[in-house]
Amino acid sequence: MAVLFAVAVVVGVYNFRDVLWAKGAEETPSPSASPAQQSGPATVTAAQDNEPRINFDILERSREVIYEAGNRNLFAYAPPPPSIDYDVKKTATPAPTPYIPTPTPVPPIPLKFYGFANKQSEPKRVFLGAADGRNFVAGLNEIVDRRYKVVQMQANQVVIEDMLTGDRQPVLLTPR
């Protein structure tokens, strides 16, 4: 406790050293004072310039100004800018052409349709072949090669949907 009390006394003396040992406010300049305010007789006039007082000249000039709606900045003390009338000949501008995106060609589905498998107790199935030699047997609404879905089966074609792009394309019967 004694050590904390001693530290508190030292901090208190350090903080109130100007009050305890009053050398006079005139001799000790404040750290925020400018060099012009720290010199002898100029200190009194500089302190008087910092005092808030009403400047009647500026007040009278501001009373003479008539405020009207327009492009004037009310927060800047300046006359309004002169209005300039430009003679611009109006020319007919052409109507903008609408942007029509060009359709990108859809790549063909790389499957070939070889035929059907019909059993009386089972649903109809189709034989499909990939370009790399793999063969698939799929039914209606089944996915082939993890990307293509058999949507519709007809006698001479099968409609297949690309699951990534959502495009549907018919694949015609290919004789082997």
And the tokens for 161?
A: 């949907």
- φ, ψ of residue 20 in degrees (nearest 5): -70, -45
CA gap 156, 142 in Å, rounded = 19
Q: Tell whether 63 is covered by a domain.
A: no
Q: How many domains does the chain have?
A: 1
Task: Specify the 3-state DSSP secondary structure of 95.
Answer: coil
* Whether pTM exceeds 0.75: no
DSSP state of 8: H
Q: Which residue has the tokens 């003396």?
A: 13
Q: Tell whether 146 is covered by a domain.
A: yes
Amino acid (1-letter code) at residue 114: Y
Q: Tell me the residue range of the domain where 131 lies.
A: 111-172
Q: Tell whether 118 is covered by a domain.
A: yes
What H or E segment, with its residue span, contains residue 59? helix 56-64
Model pLDDT, residue 139 = 92
pLDDT class of 169 with cuts at 50, 70, 90: very high
Task: Specify the 3-state DSSP secondary structure of 44.
Answer: helix
**Percent of the chain beyond pLDDT 70?**
72
Express each pLDDT in 68-81 by its tens digit: 766 666 677 776 66
**Percent of the chain beyond pLDDT 90?**
30
Express each pLDDT in 38-93 by its tens digit: 444 444 444 456 667 788 888 888 888 776 766 666 677 776 667 777 666 667 78
Q: Tell whether 164 is covered by a domain.
A: yes
Model pLDDT, residue 1 = 94
CA gap 15, 149 in Å, rounded = 85
